[in-house]
Structure 1
């Protein structure tokens, strides 16, 4: 008898849904069989995060994998950044992490990578797994796969610390909010190893997320961190999302530092450390990123948003580093994987090398006002983007690397469809706050005329 599978759980970059309404143990058992049938490898490494349903889903998934005669390597409770590291360092044939990143507690899902940290996504691998899971015409294996457990945390910490010179760190005071997600397990191991005074917030993994959701892009979720920075008179603060693959910085005044500025800072520091290199940045990052890369002897390459594409472009161009506006930071020497821990350690090394406060440094770098992401509801994104392209055909430059990017002398904007929701995402940057305000008003008017509705979520 076929197990019902909700087709909507298959997304562009992962498999994800609400537990137990959209995904459950039967779903994961079937997905285990489907993944094993598609990959055709002798063993698959599997880890899971702290969500309340993760252990149960891990058991079901690994039963499905083993039913197909494939062995399982149990990585235990880990973060997504450790999942990527394990794939690259141990050269496993395939890796799965059970997680739903920064989504609310009722969600869960999985990300899959093949050997070499090659991610499966909506254009490669996931459609085939979806087909196998829905059809369920699995072969019957004559052997049950075995399962063995390995502990990789210490090896991961050793690897992450290799990116910095500990002796060059100053005793900076840094507040770190792990949001009861998976970042706490790594940073806990760093306590006492580096000379910085680390003030921990919510390091213990807890799938209920009792203090706030592990999504630092929501202002409500960084209030505790802001207050602690000011109370402790800290030099800076770090925040991570639930599965620890995104990294966010707050300065000594508690002000949020954008992903664009963080990308620029990490780029300049890595270029100082390693010399002229190729560095990638996504299509939503501001102008200060390529300007900084060029200033410090690097070669900037603009690419589309999304970890699957960025890792592919990094390998093609032998890129040292890649930064995304959304807080994903990728490192060549980390098997092209993104990591909040490595980004955080490098940021501490950078600030240790400076004699100014972080707020002073940011004020100098953050010279172009940005809108942040403005979302609009629509079921006709393609038509609207086409109309906007025609409307702004007199622009100095237009590209379609990711959605539509339109460039003028004193401002530019990017308009792209969401991969997961019926939304258009608008990002603007201008030379002054006044120009930014005027252009936001103008573009909102154009989008409203075309039937888009502002999404206030």
Structure 2
């Protein structure tokens, strides 16, 4: 069983076994191999109790479809992308449902070059192929090939550490999930004294959901940083392709600040390089990139869109509000651990605490991302375009309307039935004024969630 409803914009995700089971994974593997003409495939999985069985079905289906399969076992999603890029395989699949509860599982799929396969780039075609294909009988005793990758992956990351012998205490919340794999990499950097939180695998997520974008999940990390006087706190999500940051005071550091710090660090190595940032990030991101000699460009939200544009434009780096950070040097894929290393490098180079680096970057007042359920997104967008027609309008992804001292964006989520609002202004007074006005308009179509 693999339900058509489990095919999402960016990945596959559903309840196990009601919407996804071993036979459904086998059917998907066969359809994927045939559609892509795959001769080589890589499969990895997270720590969920259902992931091993789904991997077995997927491997069987890929093999029946003509692919030689490499099983890399228990890995983080960034690890899988690294292996897929290094091995130049035709397709790669990570079995995970990220931070979703343990009753869910899913798959993130990419083709050669770690290019994501999403709804608009072939995933829905695979869904339709499954419905019409004749799935052959399962092969007996197929044994996938194994590949050693841990040492090379660790070296790729740790070789970027330039801490000049300075010692740092680092609290790391891996939330009983795949960040444990990344914790092992950080442990190979001699200057770091790690303070791990929740570093045993448990798919029930007994301490908190593995989702650093939800600030309530960062409380334990904030407390640990303050208690141990750590220099920095890191929080990985369920499959470890996102990372949240806490400074030495236990304060949360936003993604636009981290994007700025990392971009400026990379621009010291490659001046005039292009950096992408999603359109929801603060104005100070582009200001600092350009001040550092780089070129900045806003981009559409979503990992598939960003990875594609990075390749087309040869961008060195991209940052996203959702705490995804992408690197040309990592096959245009996410690398949260490289992000942490580069932030630590900047702390060492400057001799400043993370809070000092943050203070230098933050210039404007922000609403944060606010979510609403809207019955008619189209009519809401039309109303906003009419009311704010005097601003500079972009419809790259939803709408973004910019005025000299403030801006806002409204866009439909790609993953949930929500409309998301972001607003930034020069002053708190202006932020409060325009936020109240926009909430009144949006609330006439919906109700506010969080």
Q: TM-score range by the shorter chain?
A: over 0.9
* Matched-pair contact (CA < 8 Å) for 1:279–1:321: yes
User: What secondary structure is seen at the aligned counterpart in 1 of 2:241?
Assistant: coil
**Deviation at 1:221?**
1.1
User: What secondary structure is seen at the aligned counterpart in 2 of 1:422?
Assistant: coil
User: What secondary structure is seen at the aligned counterpart in 1 of 2:108?
Assistant: strand
Q: CA RMSD in A?
A: 1.8
CA–CA separation in structure 1 for the residues paired with 2:255 and 2:245: 8
| Residue 98 of structure 2, aligned match among 98, 101, 105 | 101
* Matched-pair contact (CA < 8 Å) for 1:264–1:289: yes
Which residue in the other structure is 1:365 paired with?
A: 361
Which residue in the other structure is 1:62 paired with?
A: 59
CA–CA separation in structure 2 for the residues paired with 1:141 and 1:421: 36
| Superposed counterparts of 1:44-443, under 5 Å | 44-138=41-135, 146-165=143-162, 168-395=164-391, 397-443=392-438
In structure 2, stretches of 5+ residues that fail to align are none
**Deviation at 1:273?**
2.8
* Matched-pair contact (CA < 8 Å) for 1:102–1:215: yes
CA–CA separation in structure 2 for the residues paired with 1:84 and 1:363: 34
* Matched-pair contact (CA < 8 Å) for 1:14–1:110: yes
More off after superposition, 185-194 vs 268-277: 185-194
**Per-residue deviation, residues 302-339 of structure 1 (Å, max 9, x unmatched):** 11011111111111111111111111111111111111
**Deviation at 1:140?**
7.7
* Matched-pair contact (CA < 8 Å) for 1:37–1:138: no
More off after superposition, 247-256 vs 187-196: 187-196
CA–CA separation in structure 2 for the residues paired with 1:196 and 1:5: 44
* Matched-pair contact (CA < 8 Å) for 2:213–2:323: no
User: What secondary structure is seen at the aligned counterpart in 1 of 2:245?
Assistant: strand
User: What secondary structure is seen at the aligned counterpart in 2 of 1:147?
Assistant: coil
CA–CA separation in structure 1 for the residues paired with 2:269 and 2:222: 30
**Per-residue deviation, residues 361-415 of structure 1 (Å, max 9, x unmatched):** 21221121111111110232122112211111111x1101111000011110110
User: What secondary structure is seen at the aligned counterpart in 1 of 2:249?
Assistant: coil
More off after superposition, 33-42 vs 298-307: 33-42
Q: What TM-score does the superposition give when structure 1 sets the normalisation length?
A: 0.95
Which residue in the other structure is 1:25 paired with?
A: 22
Q: State the number of aligned residues.
A: 450
Which residue in the other structure is 2:449 paired with?
A: 455
CA–CA separation in structure 1 for the residues paired with 2:224 and 2:5: 40
More off after superposition, 251-260 vs 138-147: 138-147
* Matched-pair contact (CA < 8 Å) for 2:31–2:129: yes
In structure 1, stretches of 5+ residues that fail to align are none
**Per-residue deviation, residues 160-193 of structure 1 (Å, max 9, x unmatched):** 1233335x25201111111111121222233253
